[in-house]
Amino acid sequence: TDGLLRCTYKTHDSGDELTSAYSLCFDPAGENLVCGYKKAAVTYCLQRPGAQPLGVFDLSAHGQNEIISTVALSRFGMVACGSYDGTVGLYTDAGSFKPYFLIPKMHHRSGVTQVMFSPCGGFLYTGGRKDGKIHCWEMRAGSGAKPLYSLARPQVKKTNQTIAFDIHPHGGHLY
Quote the distance between the C-alpha of residue 55 and its chain's center.
16
pLDDT at 102: 84
**Which phi-psi region, left, alpha or beta, contains residue 63 (left: φ > 0; alpha: ψ -120 to 50)?**
left
pLDDT tens digits for 5-34?
A: 878 888 887 788 888 999 999 988 888 999
Question: pTM of the predicted model, to two decimals?
Answer: 0.87
SS3 category, 62? helix
Query: Per-residue pLDDT tens for 39-90?
Result: 999 999 988 888 788 988 999 988 999 999 999 999 888 999 999 999 999 9
Strand spans (E) along the chain: 11-12, 18-19, 23-26, 32-37, 40-45, 55-58, 68-73, 79-83, 88-91, 99-103, 112-117, 123-128, 133-138, 149-152
Residue type, 120: C
76 DSSP 8-state letter: T
